[in-house]
């Protein structure tokens, strides 16, 4: 399967099953489009009509190049992973990551919060150290061969349970010594409680910190308010700037959510960049379609346009020496995920689970509070192996709608929580989300193509 598209002056051809990316001129683009289902003489005739400046030899050479790429397994590659996908769905899985919902409470009251202002439709609650400690033991006991284990501190607002976060991290280090395993920590915060002591700790211990900011002041303050209804932008931005200035080379993301209110979200991304942040993420809001800020199908053309604006601007800024990273445009074409990762889905419910403040287990943070997906608890273990199996079997090879999608090995079937919330089924096809995802991959690959050609040109100049 291949996918061809034109973007920002580049003609791009993706080969789904090998992962190969080709940048071609107009004639080669048309030859490839016809190659699989058109007679060669017919292709030559059509190309001579459309490109009178091209000689027959030139067109035949292009056809020979396409033959070669096909022979080399870089174009029109057949799907060789169907059997492997069955093996993956039956494999024994071990847990390698826990999202610790240390605080089911929040010091902001954001209207669009999927976690219902941090409470996940339940009572306010904070995780005790005893529960956190047991969660780490549960992770270690169920981690099997995994050497690197990940712990996310999430909420609500995890810094509201700051002392317990510190205690859990200290306990993990203790257990590293007797188990030989290694922990990585991530914390997501709204910034309200960032202070020097916290910043020092986060810089020392957290391999990644996610800072929630929606962009421009008026956009951010519209939905991200304190419990008294006051916007939080002015309070948190200086704290985020201070934190990022002290972060060094360690990973962080300033992460926003865009809604129907700011479909021109690239202006929010550029605003974040102009504030001095250079690792950015911006997510489409996930909410009840009836909400006034819910994204709508009619927003899609503008969303596509915005992603293109973003990609082009990122290339410009990079060339001018003040580039930034956008999470969804990060693609490592050389050393990206292996095929096992690409066909086993996101890991929720199998390798990744969320833990409530009282130790209940859910497939991921987005399922917390939905009792149909309560999997057990950290004291007695998994009581619903059927839920594990359901998630294990959920990937791009098990969803009929994914079969002919060129992007399936980039997304692995998408987010099960989004599917459930949008369609009522874990395996449902949330087309809106797929459309956005495909657009982002097109833009991300275009950036990679532009960067590769730029460095080729630079090398040619240097030689």
Q: Select the residue interacting with other proteins from 90, 145, 371, 372 (CB under 8 A).
A: 145
Residue 17 binds other proteins, judged by CB under 8 A: yes
Site string for other proteins, 72-111 (x = CB under 8 A): -xx--x--xx--x---------x-xx-x------------
Task: Give the footprint of other proteins on residues 25-44 (CB under 8 A).
Answer: 25, 27-28
Q: How far is the CB of 436 from other proteins (least distance, A)?
A: 8
Closest CA to 198 of 149, 236, 230: 236
Paired sense of beta strands 279-284 and 381-382, if any: unpaired
Q: How far is the CB of 107 from other proteins (least distance, A)?
A: 19
Q: How far is the CB of 361 from other proteins (least distance, A)?
A: 15
Residue 373 binds other proteins, judged by CB under 8 A: no
Task: Give the footprint of other proteins on residues 235-254 (CB under 8 A).
Answer: 251, 253
Q: Report residue 283 as tokens.
A: 């997510």
| Three-state secondary-structure class, residue 100 | strand
Segment interacting with other proteins (CB under 8 A) among 36-44, 103-111, 295-303, 328-336? 328-336
Task: Give the footprint of other proteins on residues 420-439 (CB under 8 A).
Answer: 433, 436-437
Backbone angles phi, psi at 89, to 5 degrees: -70, -20
Residue tagged 């960032």 (tokens): 194
Q: Select the residue interacting with other proteins from 1, 20, 193, 315 (CB under 8 A).
A: 20
Q: Select the residue interacting with other proteins from 239, 271, 328, 439 (CB under 8 A).
A: 328
Give the angle 440-442-448 at the CA atoms, nearest 5°: 105
Q: Select the residue interacting with other proteins from 3, 4, 8, 19 (CB under 8 A).
A: 19
- The residue (of 26 and 218) whose beta carbon lies closer to other proteins is 26
- The residue (of 90 and 334) whose beta carbon lies closer to other proteins is 334
Q: How far is CA 205 from the centre of its chain?
A: 23
Q: How far is CA 105 from the centre of its chain?
A: 25
Q: How many residues in the chain?
A: 463
Q: What's the CA gap between 360 and 380, in Å, rounded?
A: 10
Task: Give the footprint of other proteins on residues 287-326 (CB under 8 A).
Answer: none
Q: Categorise residue 330: left if φ over 0, alpha if ψ from -120 to 50, beta otherwise.
A: beta
Residue 409 binds other proteins, judged by CB under 8 A: yes
Q: What's the CA gap between 303 and 285, in Å, rounded?
A: 12
- The residue (of 20 and 128) whose beta carbon lies closer to other proteins is 20
Q: Report residue 78 as tokens.
A: 């057949």
Q: How far is the CB of 243 from other proteins (least distance, A)?
A: 15
Residue 71 binds other proteins, judged by CB under 8 A: no
Q: How far is the CB of 396 from other proteins (least distance, A)?
A: 9
Dmax over CA atoms of the chain, in Å, equals 77
Closest CA to 446 of 12, 2, 130: 12
- The residue (of 155 and 357) whose beta carbon lies closer to other proteins is 155
Segment (H or E) for 189? strand 182-189
- The residue (of 275 and 339) whose beta carbon lies closer to other proteins is 339
Segment interacting with other proteins (CB under 8 A) among 131-139, 217-225, 226-234, 346-354? 346-354
- Other Cβ atoms closer than 10 A to 249: 4
Helix runs in 277-364, H state only: 300-319, 339-343
Q: What's the CA gap between 346 and 143, in Å, rounded?
A: 17
- The residue (of 108 and 286) whose beta carbon lies closer to other proteins is 286
Q: How far is the CB of 93 from other proteins (least distance, A)?
A: 9
Q: How far is the CB of 220 from other proteins (least distance, A)?
A: 17
Task: Give the footprint of other proteins on residues 251-290 (CB under 8 A).
Answer: 251, 253, 255, 257, 279, 281, 283-284, 286
- The residue (of 255 and 271) whose beta carbon lies closer to other proteins is 255
Q: How far is the CB of 167 from other proteins (least distance, A)?
A: 21
Task: Give the footprint of other proteins on residues 158-217 (CB under 8 A).
Answer: 184, 186, 188, 208, 210
Residue 13: beta bridge partners?
A: 4, 22
Q: Select the residue interacting with other proteins from 69, 103, 172, 213 (CB under 8 A).
A: 69
Backbone angles phi, psi at 176, to 5 degrees: -60, -40
Backbone angles phi, psi at 109, to 5 degrees: -135, 70
Segment interacting with other proteins (CB under 8 A) among 118-126, 230-238, 265-273, 341-349? 341-349
Q: Report residue 244 as tokens.
A: 């990022």
Closest CA to 230 of 240, 220, 238: 220
- Other Cβ atoms closer than 10 A to 284: 20
Segment interacting with other proteins (CB under 8 A) among 38-46, 128-136, 334-342, 384-392? 334-342
End-to-end CA distance of the chain: 37
Site string for other proteins, 109-138 (x = CB under 8 A): -----x------------------------
- Other Cβ atoms closer than 10 A to 135: 25
């Amino acid at each position: 399967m291949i996918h061809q598209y034109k973007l920002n002056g580049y003609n791009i051809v993706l080969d789904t099953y090998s992962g190969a990316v080709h940048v071609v001129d107009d004639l080669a683009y048309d030859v490839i489009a016809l190659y699989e289902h058109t007679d060669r003489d017919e292709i030559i005739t059509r190309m001579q009509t459309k490109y009178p400046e091209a000689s027959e030899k030139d067109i035949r050479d292009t056809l020979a190049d396409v033959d070669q790429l096909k022979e080399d397994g870089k174009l029109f590659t057949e799907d060789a992973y169907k059997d492997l996908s069955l093996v993956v769905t039956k494999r024994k899985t071990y847990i390698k990551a826990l999202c610790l919902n240390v605080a089911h409470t929040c010091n902001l009251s954001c209207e669009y919060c999927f976690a219902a202002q941090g409470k996940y439709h339940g009572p306010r609650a904070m995780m005790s150290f005893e529960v956190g400690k047991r969660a780490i033991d549960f992770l270690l006991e169920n981690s099997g061969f995994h050497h690197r284990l990940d712990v996310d501190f999430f909420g609500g607002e995890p810094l509201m349970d700051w002392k317990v976060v510190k205690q859990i991290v200290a306990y993990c280090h203790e257990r590293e010594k007797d188990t030989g395993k290694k922990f990585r920590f991530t914390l997501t915060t709204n910034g309200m409680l960032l202070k020097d002591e916290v910043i020092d700790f986060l810089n020392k211990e957290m391999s990644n910190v996610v800072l929630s900011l929606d962009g421009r002041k008026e956009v951010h303050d519209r939905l991200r308010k304190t419990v008294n209804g006051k916007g939080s932008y002015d309070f948190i931005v200086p704290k985020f700037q201070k934190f990022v200035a002290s972060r060094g080379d360690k990973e962080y993301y300033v992460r926003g959510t865009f809604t129907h209110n700011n479909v021109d979200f690239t202006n929010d991304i550029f605003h974040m960049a102009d504030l001095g942040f250079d690792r950015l993420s911006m997510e489409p809001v996930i909410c009840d379609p009836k909400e006034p800020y819910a994204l709508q199908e009619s927003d899609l053309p503008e969303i596509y346009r915005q992603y293109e604006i973003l990609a082009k601007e990122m290339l410009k800024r990079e060339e001018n020496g003040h580039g930034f990273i956008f999470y969804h445009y990060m693609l490592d074409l050389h050393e990206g995920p292996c095929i096992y990762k690409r066909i086993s889905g996101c890991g929720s419910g199998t390798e990744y689970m969320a833990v409530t403040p009282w130790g209940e287990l859910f497939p991921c943070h987005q399922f917390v509070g939905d009792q149909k997906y309560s999997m057990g608890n950290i004291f007695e273990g998994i009581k619903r192996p059927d839920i594990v199996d359901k998630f294990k079997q959920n990937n791009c090879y098990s969803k009929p709608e994914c079969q002919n999608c060129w992007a399936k090995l980039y997304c692995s079937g998408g987010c099960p929580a989004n599917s459930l919330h949008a369609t009522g089924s874990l395996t449902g096809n949330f087309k809106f989300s797929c459309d956005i995802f495909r657009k982002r991959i097109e833009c991300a690959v275009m950036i990679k193509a532009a960067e590769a050609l730029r460095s080729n040109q630079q090398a040619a100049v240097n030689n």
